[in-house]
């Protein structure tokens, strides 16, 4: 972490007496630059941006993304969609194969009454269940067929997309296209472009499958911050990046962002240093989640080679090389997470400042805790 060191530390030094640690600190100027950069990329490629709000779960950040030009938002579940719909967002895609059990059916029906709601589907049973849940309002709900492009997560085989779309149409739902998630592009730097190629092939096959049954793919939606740079095929109509708004260490390792494009870090305080080659920070799994490994660590201290080598629930173990960096008790340090999404889930608010640390706001993480 070289380029972002001065801005992180400058902001942290200015805030140290105003913030209780651990706390997520967002450099709003860096975040806004990330939002604008993605929008500019999409404009050059003639793509719509539909950012995934699961990364930030914050209404104010979603508003900034829409103000920058996003056509709407992507949510991960019904609860997230409800929070943003209540805040005035009226174009929402739940990019997940929802099973409308329990209260979800009526909740989806209410959402479809107030928003242009699109829902992911990848199987015939879910299509029937959604149609049953919508009843005589089925035509209010648009569905997007999820296909697998190699991530081996959810998603039907691409060649089945047309059959699923026909079934949805027969049940009164409105099939509008296809989407996929190239999650296997996060495994290495080289994997990013390969996964994007897999995505292109799968989406093209799925679009042809829809066309063969007389259904036009209005929406051809591609996902993932790591692969978005290569998601430029003419078949794609929209992109759904999420992590780009903050970025993290995983994305720097993949060359999907630079170090100075990381907008969020966790402020932690050194609380113990009895062991000569180690100190303890008040940043554990309750703050950072469990993303990491012995090989890469669990978060990095910018400007140093130090990484958290182990986490307990409330303890972060920071090895200290002999003769090098050694923070004293009470020192507040920035910790850059490996994966930013679990960090946001652990807090109720984001501490918002800029690279100078001259002002401070607190934005609620509005959709925190909405997991279904």
Domain's final residue, options 213, 241, 269: 241
DSSP 16: T
Please state, in angstroms and rounded to a whole number, the distance separating the CA atoms of residues 79 and 155: 21
Instruction: Tell me whether residue 40 is in a domain.
Output: no
Q: How high is the pLDDT of residue 18?
A: 86
**Digit-coded pLDDT (tens) for 143-192:** 999 999 999 999 999 999 999 999 999 999 999 999 999 999 999 999 99
pTM of the predicted structure, to 2 decimals: 0.96
Please state, in angstroms and rounded to a whole number, the distance separating the CA atoms of residues 261 and 252: 9
Domain's final residue, options 241, 271, 304: 241
The yes-or-no verdict on residue 281 having pLDDT over 60 is yes
Across all residues in the chain, what is the average pLDDT? Answer: 95
Same domain assignment for residues 88 and 171? yes
**Digit-coded pLDDT (tens) for 79-130:** 999 999 999 999 999 999 999 999 999 999 999 999 999 999 999 999 999 9
Domain's final residue, options 192, 212, 241: 241
Q: Name the residue range of residue 276's domain.
A: 5-26+256-363
Q: How high is the pLDDT of residue 1?
A: 46
CATH number at residue 280: 2.40.37.20
Segment 25-43 shows an average pLDDT of 97
Q: How high is the pLDDT of residue 148?
A: 98
The yes-or-no verdict on residue 78 having pLDDT over 60 is yes
Q: How high is the pLDDT of residue 321?
A: 79
Task: Tokens for 278, please give them.
Answer: 């180690």
DSSP 216: -
Instruction: Tell me whether residue 281 is in a domain.
Output: yes
The yes-or-no verdict on residue 217 having pLDDT over 70 is yes
101 half-sphere exposure, CB direction, 13 A CA radius? 4
DSSP 313: S
Q: What percent of the chain has pLDDT over 70?
A: 98
CATH number at residue 68: 3.20.20.10
Cβ-based neighbours of 139, under 8 Å, separated by 6 or more: 172, 173, 174
Segment 182-204 shows an average pLDDT of 96
The yes-or-no verdict on residue 10 having pLDDT over 60 is yes
Please state, in angstroms and rounded to a whole number, the distance separating the CA atoms of residues 100 and 107: 9
Cβ-based neighbours of 71, under 8 Å, separated by 6 or more: 48, 49, 50, 91, 238
Instruction: Tell me whether residue 44 is in a domain.
Output: no
Same domain assignment for residues 170 and 272? no
Same domain assignment for residues 140 and 15? no
Please state, in angstroms and rounded to a whole number, the distance separating the CA atoms of residues 248 and 257: 8
User: Which residue, 133, 136, 140, 142, is CA-closest to 101?
Assistant: 133
Domain tally for the chain? 2
Note whether 81 and 117 are within 8 A (CB). Answer: yes
Same domain assignment for residues 182 and 311? no
Same domain assignment for residues 207 and 143? yes
């Amino acid at each position: 972490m070289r380029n972002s060191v001065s801005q992180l530390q400058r902001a942290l030094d200015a805030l140290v007496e105003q913030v209780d640690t651990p706390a997520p600190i967002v450099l709003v100027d860096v975040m806004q630059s990330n939002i604008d950069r993605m929008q500019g990329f999409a404009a050059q490629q003639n793509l719509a941006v539909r950012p995934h709000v699961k990364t930030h779960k914050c209404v104010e950040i979603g508003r900034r993304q829409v103000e920058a030009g996003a056509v709407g938002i992507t949510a991960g579940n019904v609860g997230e969609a409800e929070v943003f719909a209540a805040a005035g967002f009226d174009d929402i895609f739940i990019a997940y194969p929802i099973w409308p059990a329990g209260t979800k059916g009526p909740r989806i029906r209410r959402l479809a009454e107030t928003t242009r709601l699109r829902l992911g589907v990848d199987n015939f049973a879910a299509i029937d269940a959604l149609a049953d849940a919508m009843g005589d309002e089925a035509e209010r709900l648009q569905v997007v067929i999820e296909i697998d492009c190699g991530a081996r997560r959810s998603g039907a085989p691409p060649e089945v997309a047309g059959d699923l779309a026909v079934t949805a149409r027969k049940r009164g739902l409105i099939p509008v296209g296809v989407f996929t998630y190239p999650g296997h592009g996060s495994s290495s730097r080289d994997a990013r472009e390969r996964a994007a190629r897999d995505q292109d092939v799968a989406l093209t096959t799925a679009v042809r499958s829809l066309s063969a049954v007389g259904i036009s793919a209005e929406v051809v939606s591609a996902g993932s911050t790591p692969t978005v740079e290569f998601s430029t095929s003419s078949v794609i109509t929209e992109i759904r990046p999420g992590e780009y708004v903050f970025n993290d260490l995983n994305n720097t390792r993949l060359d999907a962002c630079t170090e100075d494009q990381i907008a969020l870090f966790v402020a932690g305080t050194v609380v113990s240093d009895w062991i000569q080659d180690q100190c303890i920070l008040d940043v554990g799994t309750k703050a950072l989640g469990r993303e990491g490994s012995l090989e890469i660590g669990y978060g990095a201290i910018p400007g140093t080679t130090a990484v958290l080598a182990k986490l307990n629930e409330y303890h972060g173990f920071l090895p200290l090389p002999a003769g090098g960096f050694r923070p004293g008790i009470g020192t507040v340090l920035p910790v850059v997470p490996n994966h930013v999404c679990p960090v946001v889930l652990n807090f109720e608010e984001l501490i918002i400042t800029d690279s100078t640390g001259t002002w401070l706001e607190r934005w609620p993480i509005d959709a925190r805790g909405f997991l279904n």
